[in-house]
Structure 1
Amino acid sequence: MKTARRIAFVLLALLAALALLGPLAGQDPRVQDLERVREWPSAAHWLGTDHLGRDQFTRLAAALRLSLGLALAAVAAAAVAGSALGLLAAWRGGWTERLLALFADAVMALPGLLLVLLMAAVAPGAFAPLYAGLALALWVEYFRVVRAASRSLLAGEPVQAARLLGFGPGYVVRRHLWPELAPLLATLAAFGAAGTVLALAALGFVGVGLQPPATELGLMLIELLPYWREAPWLLAPPVAALLALTTALMLLADRRMPQ
């Protein structure tokens, strides 16, 4: 497990460095130069140029920032909303829990990608509907896990003793619930980030996610796929980056799984 953890952190560090160093290369990922299309990697263009003469290194860096940033934002929103609602359901019980569970079941009845597509259809290519759709598809997992774990923890003797001693909800959550919930939430977050990156790439690849001039891994794949025979070195970096990113997140999630 230590080896898997090291691999995950090394991959994430390399990808983060690539994403952050992209602007320092001095190239604009949106600028086209039709006289320098599909060039080999060189000192001027570290990963070559694409079919429109755009610098591949800065485009890949921008795609990593956008894909990972949007995925982490969606996971954070889903984690906060789902955890809060799950804790509320377990704490209050009764009709509050039944209503929240019914709403969660209704969301779960629809496939996650279908929810994202429905939200994205409101404003095709816009960030906000896509972000809202991803968060809406993810929050149910946090709700179900936190609700189930909190119910058993709230019924335990330590929490019952804290309540009898007059400690408030804030103390109970901070001292008794959060230490037990944190590893579960970290695992869900890592899995959710990996799944969201893949979902974004899939939506971009089929042309229903973010739209040009946005730079996203799925968009890069669909733009470069027709040239894989003439210029395979252009398609390899986004494929490798997507594979490395999802592998690192999955390894990190596996590392955080409770034993």
Structure 2
Amino acid sequence: MSTALHELSATPAPTGAAVHRPRRRSRARRACAAALALLVGFALVGPLVLGDPAAQDLSRFLEPPSWGEPLGTDDYGRSVLTRLAHATRLSLVLAVLCVATALVLGATTGVLAAWRGGWVDAVLRGVSEIFVALPALLVVLLVAALASGGSLVAIYVGIALAQWVEYFRVVRARAGLVLGSPAVEAAGLLGLGRLHVVRRHLLPDLRPLLTTLASLGMVTSVLAMSTLGFVKVGLEPPRAELGLMITESFPFYDVAPWMVLGPVGVLFVLTVSLLGLRDGEDAA
């Protein structure tokens, strides 16, 4: 009894900073979730109520921000706010499609390689090493350059192909450990089947890793698409896209700085929000 009391008294009490740190992380995570929800709402509702992003009115050339146009107009008299709403929706939809495709492809091939082994594992590892040897942006540029006219499908395929290898390598390594665990061996001896192993052992273990990778993949997809538009390899005008909007604003940055504030602000908030949610998951 005295020994237990001595050990309890010797245990250092948590400091004030240690107590408040999880609370600050929780607040930061809620703030990131709220900012992301506002962006998603803007992307969903904005294009429905703001009209055509390609509508031109040359009489409104480079109008400054006003009550009617909070972000002003561009060099063709187009509403910057309207174009920003359509560009945000395009970036988010493309990012979700790219991440979903890369996650399904990478997780499926990763589990298959870990489960089957042998020549299947060797072939899939060889293919993944080819993609690892090539810079991800180069893969996207090659696929986008092969498609004429800035094809949205080509950009989607390029970004998904550049990302699937991350899921494959992580899932293959983790699934190998899970499939070799005593619990999975016991399930095999009991004849519970592969579906039981996937549902009760693989999915619960892989879910946190896949969630974190998906958060990073969303950021990567949005930034990759914006980079392609910035270097004029991605989508072509008059389509509204964040990177393309930044490029179009460069000749007028000294007389119409409001043109660049919107797309840069959306990219910044989207990146910080997704990374903040990922940090919150890791901390938990």
Deviates more, 1:248-257 or 1:82-91: 248-257
CA radius of gyration, larger in: 2
Once the two structures are superposed, what CA deviation does each residue of 1:109-160 show, in whole Å capped at 9, x if it has no partner? Answer: 1111111111111213001111111011000000000000000001111111
Structure 2: gaps of 5 or more residues:
1-24
The partner residue of 1:18 within 35, 42, 46 is: 42
CA drift at 1:226:
1.5
The equivalent of 1:243 in structure 2 is 268
Cα distance in 2, alignment partners of residues 48 and 25 from structure 1: 17
CA drift at 1:172:
0.6
The equivalent of 1:66 in structure 2 is 90
CA contact (8 A) 1:184 1:258 kept: no
Identity of aligned residues (%): 51
Cα distance in 2, alignment partners of residues 25 and 91 from structure 1: 50
CA contact (8 A) 2:246 2:259 kept: no
The equivalent of 1:166 in structure 2 is 191
1:36 aligns with 2:52: no
Cα distance in 2, alignment partners of residues 258 and 128 from structure 1: 36
The equivalent of 1:205 in structure 2 is 230
1:123 aligns with 2:156: no
Cα distance in 2, alignment partners of residues 140 and 181 from structure 1: 16
Deviates more, 1:76-85 or 1:189-198: 189-198
Structure 1: gaps of 5 or more residues:
none
The equivalent of 1:223 in structure 2 is 248
User: What amino acid sits opposite 2:212 in the alignment?
Assistant: T
Cα distance in 1, alignment partners of residues 231 and 185 from structure 2: 53
CA drift at 1:24:
4.1
Closer/same/farther in 2, CA of residues 111 and 26 from structure 1, 3 Å limit: closer
Deviates more, 1:210-219 or 1:21-30: 21-30
The equivalent of 1:91 in structure 2 is 115
CA drift at 1:258:
6.4
The equivalent of 2:124 in structure 1 is 100
The equivalent of 1:2 in structure 2 is 26
Once the two structures are superposed, what CA deviation does each residue of 1:2-55 show, in whole Å capped at 9, x if it has no partner? Answer: 122112101101111211221343432110100001112233323211111111
RMSD across aligned positions (CA): 1.3
1:157 aligns with 2:167: no
Once the two structures are superposed, what CA deviation does each residue of 1:74-108 show, in whole Å capped at 9, x if it has no partner? Answer: 11100000000000000001111111111100111
Q: List, as ranges, runs of 4+ consecutive aligned residues in structure 1 with deviation greater than 4 Å.
A: none
CA contact (8 A) 1:184 1:257 kept: no
1:51 aligns with 2:88: no
1:144 aligns with 2:166: no
Closer/same/farther in 2, CA of residues 6 and 232 from structure 1, 3 Å limit: same
Structure 2 length-normalised TM: 0.88
CA drift at 1:213:
2.2
CA contact (8 A) 1:205 1:222 kept: yes
Instruction: Give aligned pairs, total.
Output: 259
Partner SS, residue 60 of structure 2: coil
Cα distance in 2, alignment partners of residues 75 and 110 from structure 1: 19
Deviates more, 1:68-77 or 1:3-12: 3-12
Once the two structures are superposed, what CA deviation does each residue of 1:221-258 show, in whole Å capped at 9, x if it has no partner? Answer: 00012211111122111111110011111111222226
Cα distance in 2, alignment partners of residues 193 and 139 from structure 1: 13
Cα distance in 2, alignment partners of residues 131 and 205 from structure 1: 17
